[in-house]
Amino acid sequence: MVYHYRRNTVQLDELDIDGVYHINNVPFGIIPDPSNYRSYKTINSLYGFVSLGFDDTYYLDITGRNDWSSTLSRGNWSYFYPSVAASVLLDQAFDFRTNLPVVSFAKLRLSWANVGNDTSPYSLDQYYSASSISGGYALPSTIPDPMIKPENVESWELGLDAKFFRNRLGLDLALYSSSTTNQIVPVDIDPIVGASGMKINAGEITNKGIEVALYATPVRSRDFTWDVNLNWAKNKNTLVSLQEGWDPEQPYETDMGTTIGGRLHVYSYIGEEMHQIYGFALQRAPEGSYYIDDTGKQVDCSGEVVLDATTGLPSVEKTADHFLGKVNPDWRGGFSTSLRYKSLTLSGVFSYQWGGQRYSVTDGILSYQGKLTNSLEGRYDGIVAEGVNIVSTNEDGSAVCQVNNTVTSSIYTYYQARVLDRYNGESHTFETSFLKFKEVRLEYALPTALIQKTKVLQGASIALFATNIFSWDKWPQYDPEGGIMTGTNVYGGVEAGAFPMTRTLGMNLRLSF
């Protein structure tokens, strides 16, 4: 297969006459800036598969594929990726129809699959980047790896699909484990080494998870049906290793669309769950700090906010190395149900998610500008912020403290530059757990007798519906599911200018012919 890409653009920095858009409308002294890019890539493949069935019960599919990609170097450009999938119909194999009649259907499946992937063209050599000055060149901003290897995703999946009581109860269970090796990813490097980025084969990333779907019809009669659907999924994403020679203390950073000017990073450390949020936080009393209370008792206060004894103000530690949360939720799921009585159906859809945090730029900006009620307290008289003052520091780094009782010297500084400072990630990182009532619908199907009279219609129904009825969450602004959208990418770790949820109330008429 041959891929051929071409892009030609001409850019004018200024127009001669406003509002007239063609490339000749250029003022004196301005030169149109043309850009011409083309790329070629060839992938040749050999693909084969065999599909076998035995006794209408046992199935086996085997595939094999070899690709040769022009984007990789000699020695790396050929890669093979096979897959094997087996399944067995348990109800057939063990004749459940007679032996275990409650089971109406059961299928067990096991698969192993590999998918290989190359990289983009021209990633192996160093090429100059062009300059707006004709004949001018600059070194590229990335260092290529000429020996970069193709990516491979290997995955195992074990699944069980079972139906009971004449399909009144169903279960779909899947356990999976996948491992991505040699993923080709860009990483930031220190520009003093000669470039600001690099493409690497990122060791190994694993995803392990479980997905459960349950569906049931607890009641089914001529006039009344009740259906329930439930699903639940859990996934754990682990960074197992990075490229050889990578300092294990050094995190891998995931692009979240922004780092709020280097103040917030989504890092993954080797051997740990991926996508942990690090940023600024208020200064806190170090481990082992204590104060003496009124009764003369020594009280541990490590981790409490440190406030200045004279100003009563906390301070923001401006190093983006404070752990603030993790992006990935612990689990997520959905629930839907419908109740039908004769021609009337009432249905509802819920979704939920647990665990996971995100930084909210929206909250940061609104807060530090004082546009929210979170800066109301103490507006006129100041407040005595909760926390401790450091009296002295011990040799081991711990501190002798006293409980703060200083009124803030400036409530403006307290909120605007400290607690609610928009860059203070600690104050603007929130749980993304939620329970959403996504949709409710009441539908009435017109009687068949009536429909038939029209001779044209096959069916007709009328429904009232509402979406986004409520969301029960701790997210401060708008939608706990909102992220940053840049082009076609949605980044989950940071929310910036996400849209609020929109609620729709409507009526819906459905005619089928």
Partner 1 sequence: MKKLKILAICLFVLGSLYSCTKNFEETNTNPNTTLVGMIQPSGMFEPILFNSAKQWLYRTWYYNNELMQFTAHTGGVTRREHLYFLEDSRDWYGFWNHYSTYGKNIDHMYELAQEKGDPSLEAIALTFKVLFFSNMADMFGSVPYEEAFTGRKLGGTLTPKFNTQKEVYQFLFEELEKANDIYATSPIFLNPAMDGMYRGDMEAWRKFNNSLYLRLLCRVSGRSEMNVGAKMTEIINNPAKYPVFTDNADNAMVKFAGNDPYISNFGTTTESDFTSSGRKLTRQLIGLTVQTDINDNQVYIDPRLPVIGKKNPVIEVNPDNIWKGTVSGCTEMERSEVDRGTSWLNYKVFCRRDAPSIYMDYAEVQFILAEAALKNHITGGEAAAKSYYEAGVRASMAKWSEQGAYSDPAVTITADDVDTYLASPLGSWDLATNKEEFLGNQKWLALFWVGMEAYHEYRRTGYPVLTIGEGTVYNDNIFPTRFGYPNVTVSTNNANATAAIEEMGGPNDMKTPVWWSKQAISGGK
Task: Kindly tell me the burial class for residue 283, based on how many C-beta atoms sit within 10 Å of its own C-beta (0-12, 13-18, 19 or more).
Answer: middle
Collapsing DSSP to helix, strand or coil, 98 comes out as helix
399-403 vs 290-292, strand pairing mode:
parallel
Choice between 46 and 490, CB closer to partner 1: 46
Choice between 120 and 454, CB closer to partner 1: 120
Give Cα separations from 65 to 49, 74, 78, 81, 313 (angstroms). Answer: 9, 19, 11, 5, 64
> Is 36 a residue that touches partner 1 (CB under 8 A)?
yes
Structure tokens at 343: 């021609």
331-341 vs 344-354, strand pairing mode:
antiparallel
> Is 310 a residue that touches partner 1 (CB under 8 A)?
no
Instruction: Give CA–CA dist 421/281, Å, rounded.
Output: 10
- Using CB under 8 A, pick the residue from 173, 417, 446, 466 that binds partner 1: 417
> Is 31 a residue that touches partner 1 (CB under 8 A)?
yes
> Is 5 a residue that touches partner 1 (CB under 8 A)?
no
Choice between 51 and 452, CB closer to partner 1: 51
Region for residue 480 given its phi and psi (left: phi exceeds 0; alpha: psi -120 to 50; beta: otherwise): alpha
- Using CB under 8 A, pick the residue from 190, 223, 294, 396 that binds partner 1: 190
What does the per-residue mask of binding to partner 1 show for 331-370, with x meaning CB under 8 A? --------------------------------------x-
Choice between 246 and 437, CB closer to partner 1: 246
Give Cα separations from 422 to 178, 326, 339, 444, 493 (angstroms). Answer: 38, 19, 47, 50, 16
What does the per-residue mask of binding to partner 1 show for 261-300, with x meaning CB under 8 A? xxx-x-----------------------------------
- Using CB under 8 A, pick the residue from 16, 93, 97, 122 that binds partner 1: 122
Question: Looking up tokens 């129904």, which residue turns up?
Answer: 461
126 close to 144: Cβ distance less than 8 angstroms: yes
Query: Cβ of residue 229: shortest distance to partner 1, in angstroms?
Result: 32
> Is 25 a residue that touches partner 1 (CB under 8 A)?
no
Collapsing DSSP to helix, strand or coil, 34 comes out as strand
> Is 117 a residue that touches partner 1 (CB under 8 A)?
no
Residue 160 bridge partners (DSSP): 108, 173
- Using CB under 8 A, pick the residue from 70, 241, 302, 337 that binds partner 1: 70
Write phi, then psi, for 338 (nearest 5 degrees): -145, 145
Q: Which has the closest alpha carbon to 67: 82, 46, 50?
A: 46
Applying CB under 8 A, the site for partner 1 has a residue count of 84
Query: Cβ of residue 373: shortest distance to partner 1, in angstroms?
Result: 20
Query: Cβ of residue 65: shortest distance to partner 1, in angstroms?
Result: 9
> Is 29 a residue that touches partner 1 (CB under 8 A)?
yes
